[in-house]
Copies of this chain bind each other. A is one copy, B any other.
Amino acid sequence: MKKVINNPEAVVHEMIEGMVQAYPDKLRHLEGTTVIVRADAPVPGKVAVISGGGSGHEPSHAGYVGRGMLDAAVAGEVFTSPTPDQIYEGMKAIDSGNGVLMVIKNYTGDVMNFEMAAELAEAEGIKVAKVIVNDDVAVENSTFTTGRRGIAGTVFVHKIAGAKAEKGGSLEEVEAVANKVISHVKSMGIALTPCTIPAVGKPGFEISEEEMEVGMGIHGEPGIERTKVKTSHEIAELLVEKVLAEHQLTAEDKVAVLINGLGATPLMELFIFNKDVSEILAKKGVQVYKTFVGEYMTSIEMAGLSLSILKLDDELTELLEAPADTAAWK
């Protein structure tokens, strides 16, 4: 295992320190916790939005903390759900009396721990709503998950729910628009290589030099098939087909496209893949309103990528375009 780290057991705490030191104008670390909040939290009069999950998906989730997106991100150990007490600490630090929306990726541990934190918060009089993101269309159930997994499409939920909260939406309104994004975004990915959890020290699975995994999860969960490495164009055809099959798009609809690198995929390859996706969508008559290419939700140093397609309407477009001031959104 070759990594730029100090102690494999301390990676999450050291990462949090280094992140807050990089962006002191945007981020604040709640001492004694693994929670990063907006530097100016709690924001008076505003509904707060919290997310989080296991670490190893950077820039998710703390990279999206800041004005116009998340109020707090709670980091678990690598690929491990954050504990309820940590989530609860985050909620207390960001609630201004207007309530807290939890954005949870659909993994059994995350859902359970966020729900326990919600109970703790509600017992203290904090209004809580929660949404569960399940954008990965690859498989119906999986390791760690009942139902579909939440992957890179989650970042659209952060952006749009965060913008709605920033504009003064009520807890019910912010929850409603978050649920609209969830129903409008579908994703799927492929992986070329595994990744190594620092404290484990060896790759999470093995895959031969000639093979790729189609539909793999962001923790290395199995996908739908292992095939010979395909070309970018073949991968694009496969993923676009799977993702569009879940959408009912008309000729008037516009979409946002997110091409997400999983950690070790060069930007060069993400752009080549975007060329192929763009060509295929154009042939199918799908109107792309905006494209995002980069690392948004990674799997440590996994090589691979995912495609997310968000069906837009006027409300979602306006909120997607609203300003945000975070380390990682652009």
Spell out A's residues near B (CB within 8 Å). 2-6, 11, 14-19, 21-23, 55-56, 58-59, 63, 192-193, 209, 212, 229, 231-233, 235, 259, 263-276, 278, 291-293, 295, 298, 300-301, 303-305, 327, 330
Q: Which of these, B11, B16, B235, B298, contacts A4 with CB under 8 Å?
A: B235
**Which are the 6 A-B pairs with shortest beta-carbon distances?**
A18-B275, A18-B271, A264-B264, A58-B267, A18-B274, A4-B269
User: Shortest distance in angstroms between A199's beta carbon and chain B's nearest beta carbon?
Assistant: 12
Is the contact region of chain A dominated by helix, strand, or loop, or is it mixed? mixed
Instruction: Please measure, in the bound complex, the distance between the C-alpha atom of A235 and the C-alpha atom of B6, giving whole angstroms.
Output: 10
In the complex, chain B residues whose CB is within 8 Å of the CB of A209: 2
Instruction: Please measure, in the bound complex, the distance between the C-alpha atom of A232 and the C-alpha atom of B271, giving whole angstroms.
Output: 31
User: Shortest distance in angstroms between A37's beta carbon and chain B's nearest beta carbon?
Assistant: 17
CB atoms of A4 and B305 under 8 A apart: yes
CB atoms of A275 and B2 under 8 A apart: no
Instruction: Please measure, in the bound complex, the distance between the C-alpha atom of A55 and the C-alpha atom of B327, giving whole angstroms.
Output: 26
CB atoms of B193 and A2 under 8 A apart: yes
> Quick one: closest B residue to A15, CB to CB?
B271
CB atoms of B2 and A303 under 8 A apart: yes
CB atoms of A231 and B6 under 8 A apart: yes
Q: Which of these, B58, B63, B278, B301, contacts A18 with CB under 8 Å?
A: B278
User: Shortest distance in angstroms between A54's beta carbon and chain B's nearest beta carbon?
Assistant: 11
CB atoms of B305 and A275 under 8 A apart: no
CB atoms of A268 and B15 under 8 A apart: yes
In the complex, chain B residues whose CB is within 8 Å of the CB of A3: 192, 266, 269
